[in-house]
Amino acid sequence: MSSHIRVGSITLTLLLPMLLVLLSSPISMQVQAADSCAGDTSPIRWNETAQRTALVPHYSGNWWNQFDDMVFEDEGGERDVGADSETPSDVILGPEESWMYESWMLPRLEPLEENHFTTMLIGNDSIGALRVNLSADYRTTVCVRLQDTNLNAVEGDVYLLTTEEYESYTQSYNTAHDTSDFRFDDIEQSLSNIPPEWRSFNFLGWKSYRDSHEYERTSEVNFALNLDGPEIYSSLFSGTDWQDFYIVIDTWDNVHDNDAVAPNSIVAADVTIITTERSFILPPFTVSLVFLVTFLGTLAIPFILNAKYMKAGLVAEAPQHIVPSLDTPAEYPQPQHIVPSLDTPAEYPQPQHIVPSLDTPAEYPQSHSPVFPPQKEVVSLPEPAPIDLSRHQSVSEGLDGQARIESE
């Protein structure tokens, strides 16, 4: 396997958890939830598959306030109009019935495996909630749409809380609407903007489920939820505690900085719950296993690269022409012509032209015609004319290049 393939496989292994986180991000979950909001629904079987609860400003649920009211009435005193009294404005903007906010009974609910639709009327500065028992075998999609009685869109806050988180949320609501709270709401407001990693140490605040299912300043929201298993909290003091889920519609100005203010009107919340059976469920330990493998793989990469780097010089071939060192013995090439020993007779090559012996007759090449030397051509010269010595003669060259003798 080449080094490029190994590096590519390691990179893909490191990027795989990031891709899984991206695909399971809230943005992709909202897109999937938006496609799953349609389906056949059935009426809610109250106190069997879901329970309707509420929090209103004119009822705090504190037993000591009710005890003080009874004492004042028995003594004939006048009752002060406080947090537990219903004013005309509360009655007009508070459509909740008394059994919604005065009930202390929490019946055991069946696992939510059906599709439901309901409309909740929520008063101004109030809270409307649906208590359900979500199943780990089903994927739950919740769709909420907020509007007033005139069918106009209204901004509000939607939260998904467990039982323990809802109790902290209820305490925060009652503290903000109680006149004898010693201004705890101011302290809670100052601690509302702490970083997420420190929110678990905030004993006065509250947070949503998994610190992510909070949708503020919105009129319509869709979200989906997959549980790894039953939501059970264990404590050293209280033991095992079963946790239900609350789908909360918030119409009051809570302690969060980015939440919606009270709309000063009655809010109608259309809630649709769609459940889809899950075909394949991974065990909860696979999340820890994936992160453990990723962490160990990240730690092993430098050691693997270092080992390959250290072995690179040992595997490669040494060059042929190098200057020998003193630590390396010299290597000489074996000679091609070996000197024969005395025991081995010498072998000499046969000569190509052998001198003929006397016993062998000489062989001459046969010639077809005798070879004679070429004959020379004899040129005859003209005889010289007699020279007359009595005349004065001169020799000149004619036009044809021959000498001429002229006499005077």
**Is the pLDDT assigned to residue 310 strictly greater than 50?**
yes
Q: Report if residue 79 sits inside a domain.
A: no
Give the pLDDT score at 163.
Answer: 92
**Is the pLDDT assigned to residue 196 strictly greater than 70?**
no
Say what percent of the chain tops pLDDT 70.
54
Give the pLDDT score at 46.
Answer: 92
Say what percent of the chain tops pLDDT 90.
28
Give the pLDDT score at 269.
Answer: 96
Give the pLDDT score at 47.
Answer: 92
Give the pLDDT score at 261.
Answer: 92
Q: Which residue has the higher pLDDT, 126 or 382?
A: 126
Q: Which residue has the higher pLDDT, 161 or 387?
A: 161
Give the pLDDT score at 384.
Answer: 66
Report the distance separating Cα 247 and Cα 229, nearest Å: 19
Which domain covers residue 144, as residue numbers?
Answer: 43-56+93-281
For 244-298, how does the pLDDT look when each residue is reduced to its tens digit (9 = 90+)? 999 999 999 988 888 999 999 999 999 999 999 988 777 778 888 888 999 998 9
Q: Report if residue 388 sits inside a domain.
A: no
Give the pLDDT score at 92.
Answer: 59
> Tokens for 251?
């119409």
Residue 50 class from Cβ within 10 Å (0-12 exposed, 13-18 middle, 19+ buried)?
buried
Please list the residues that pair with 127 across neighbouring strands.
55, 250
Q: Report if residue 80 sits inside a domain.
A: no
Give the pLDDT score at 190.
Answer: 61
Give the pLDDT score at 25.
Answer: 47
- If you average pLDDT over every residue of the chain, what do you get? 75
CA angle at 339 for the pair 335 and 345, rounded to the nearest 5°: 140
Q: Report if residue 295 sits inside a domain.
A: no
Q: Report if residue 236 sits inside a domain.
A: yes
> Tokens for 6?
């190994």
For 61-94, how does the pLDDT look when each residue is reduced to its tens digit (9 = 90+)? 765 555 444 444 444 544 444 444 444 445 556 7
Phi, psi of 14 (to 5 degrees): -75, -30
Q: Minimum mean pLDDT among 116-120, 176-180, 320-324: which range?
A: 320-324
Give the pLDDT score at 280.
Answer: 77
Query: Using H for helix, E for strand and C for coil, what is the string for 267-304?
Result: EEEEEEEEEEECCCCCCCHHHHHHHHHHHHHHHHHHHH
Report the distance separating Cα 69 and Cα 82, nearest Å: 10
Strands (E), 67-199: 116-122, 127-132, 138-148, 156-162
**Is the pLDDT assigned to residue 147 strictly greater than 90?**
yes
Q: Which amino acid is at 342?
A: L
Report the distance separating Cα 125 and Cα 122, nearest Å: 9
For 200-226, how does the pLDDT look when each residue is reduced to its tens digit (9 = 90+)? 555 567 888 887 899 999 999 999 998
The phi-psi region of residue 210 (left if phi > 0; otherwise alpha if psi is between -120 and 50; otherwise beta) is left
Give the pLDDT score at 103.
Answer: 77
Report the distance separating Cα 251 and Cα 265, nearest Å: 9
Report the distance separating Cα 408 and Cα 387, nearest Å: 13
The phi-psi region of residue 39 (left if phi > 0; otherwise alpha if psi is between -120 and 50; otherwise beta) is left
Q: Report if residue 405 sits inside a domain.
A: no
Q: Minimum mean pLDDT among 56-65, 74-83, 317-326: which range?
A: 74-83
Report the distance separating Cα 153 and Cα 327, nearest Å: 90
Helix axes 3-23, 285-315, angle to 10 degrees: 160
Residue 404 contacts residue 395 (beta carbons within 8 Å): yes
Give the pLDDT score at 197.
Answer: 60
Rounded average pLDDT over 142-164: 94
**Is the pLDDT assigned to residue 182 strictly greater than 80?**
no
Report the distance separating Cα 342 and Cα 340, nearest Å: 7
CA 88 to chain centre: 56
**Is the pLDDT assigned to residue 8 strictly greater than 90?**
no
**Is the pLDDT assigned to residue 20 strictly greater than 90?**
no
Give the pLDDT score at 79.
Answer: 43
Q: Report if residue 183 sits inside a domain.
A: yes
Q: Which residue has the higher pLDDT, 316 or 43?
A: 43
Q: Report if residue 352 sits inside a domain.
A: no
Residue 306 contacts residue 143 (beta carbons within 8 Å): no
Q: Which residue has the higher pLDDT, 71 or 362?
A: 362
356: confidence class by pLDDT, cuts 50, 70, 90: low
Report the distance separating Cα 133 and Cα 89, nearest Å: 35
Total domains, the chain: 1
Report the distance separating Cα 264 and Cα 393, nearest Å: 162
Report the distance separating Cα 159 and Cα 310, nearest Å: 57
In 3D, which of 181, 154, 46 has the Cα closest to residue 93?
154
Q: Which amino acid is at 309?
A: Y
179: confidence class by pLDDT, cuts 50, 70, 90: low
Strands (E), 74-137: 116-122, 127-132
How many other CB atoms are found less than 10 A from the CB of residue 118? 16
Give the pLDDT score at 387.
Answer: 59
pTM over 0.75, yes/no: no
> Tokens for 45?
């079987």
44-53, 279-288, 322-331, range with greatest mean pLDDT = 44-53
Give the pLDDT score at 231.
Answer: 82
